[in-house]
Amino acid sequence: MKDALSILRRCKIQPTPQRIAVVEYVLKSKAHPSADDVLSYARKKCPTVSRATVYNTLNLLVEKGLLGMQTIKEGAVVFDSNIEKHHHFVDSETGDIYDIPWDQLEVKGKDKLKDFEIFEFQVILRGRRKKK
Amino acid sequence: MKDALSILRRCKIQPTPQRIAVVEYVLKSKAHPSADDVLSYARKKCPTVSRATVYNTLNLLVEKGLLGMQTIKEGAVVFDSNIEKHHHFVDSETGDIYDIPWDQLEVKGKDKLKDFEIFEFQVILRGRRKKK
DNA sequence: AATTTTATCTTGACATTGTCTAATATAATA
DNA sequence: TATTATATTAGACAATGTCAAGATAAAATT
């Protein structure tokens, strides 16, 4: 029940060869592919698939909750005159970014991550800023 | 002692009108400007300043530790077939992204952030993956 | 089956973010 | 002043993403 076709059907997304190619790759991959990675793969199965279709399909999958989307990679950067360590809160509506003082949050459990040597970390929160 | 000129001198960055314009804006702004925001402002003071110079200067400031840099905004996105909640670890050398199971980390203190209504959050860690 | 309607795809144009190079300008040094 | 080193510029380029218009295909209706 994990083939691309039935996944699409189950989510009421009309299956097409293009969408199947996208889903096959993206839902199996344990890496974190970029849209362009997906495009490259999809073109192997479906050489005429267009960039727009890949983007549309990925967005569809995200809307349906089948796929997560993370803005971790570089590509759009903002600068921060506050060079104290701090966390960030992003207003989902406006995109505004607020600094959260470092000592307001505590992250426990990092020392249990044996596979990783941690240079730095931060908490990113998203939501809505309350009006005063 | 907080004017752009002395800041640049103190850090042994040769002051130029272009750099001063960049520093003035970026070190005072409490918002989180993008490179393009900085460019726009810098051109008010220094109409001929080029995109390259702004980028160069921002990178210089980051290298010297005068400025923080965050990749929070959208612009380059990766997708994630793991739709369970989880945190992320980014390998600083390779750029590889690893999922950290949700229950491995705990973030305390969120309820003290009275000004914000939190829809979601995650911890982003950066460092080096240990080889086995 | 034929036609209309609807959904999907493609192409190509465009915007944004960022890097790079070659040429020029400026400053520092001898 | 002549030389050298450092900064700046313009423009080309690449990557990521959005959008609109027309072409295609599928579904629904008659």
Whole-number pLDDT of residue A76? 80
Terminal-residue alpha carbon distance, chain B: 50
Q: Do B71 and A71 make contact, defined as CB atoms within 8 angstroms? A: yes
Q: With pLDDT > 90 as the criterion, what percentage of chain A qualifies?
A: 63
Residue A72 has pLDDT above 80, yes or no: no
A124: chain B residues, CB-CB within 8 Å: 72, 121-124
SS3 A98: strand
Q: What contacts B115, CB < 8 A, 6 or more positions away?
A: A129, A130
Q: Is the CB of A14 under 7 A from strand C?
A: yes
CA A48, CA B66: separation in Å to the nearest integer? 48
> Average pLDDT, whole number, for chain A?
90
* Cα B41 to Cα A82, A96, B44, B118, distances in angstroms: 19, 18, 5, 32
**Which of the two residues, A64 and B73, has the higher pLDDT score?**
A64
Q: Do A125 and B108 make contact, defined as CB atoms within 8 angstroms? A: no
ipTM score assigned to the predicted complex? 0.81
As ranges, strand C nucleotides with an atom below 7 A of a protein CB are: 7-13, 16-21, 27-28
CA dihedral A81, A82, A88, A94 (to 10 degrees): -40
Q: With pLDDT > 90 as the criterion, what percentage of chain B qualifies?
A: 63
What does the pLDDT look like over B28-65, one tens digit per residue? 887 899 999 999 999 999 999 999 999 999 999 999 98
Whole-number pLDDT of residue B72? 78
Residues 31-50 of B with CB under 7 A from strand D: 46, 48-50
**Phi, psi (deg, nearest 5) at residue B37:** -55, -45
Task: Name the pLDDT band for B25 (thresholds 50, 70, 90).
Answer: very high
Provide the 8-state DSSP code for A66: S
Q: How far is the CA of B35 from the C1' of D11 (A)?
A: 19
| CB atoms closer than 10 angstroms to residue A105 | 20
Whole-number pLDDT of residue B39? 96
| Shortest Cα distance, chain B CAs vs residue A65, angstroms | 8
Average pLDDT over residues B77-94: 88
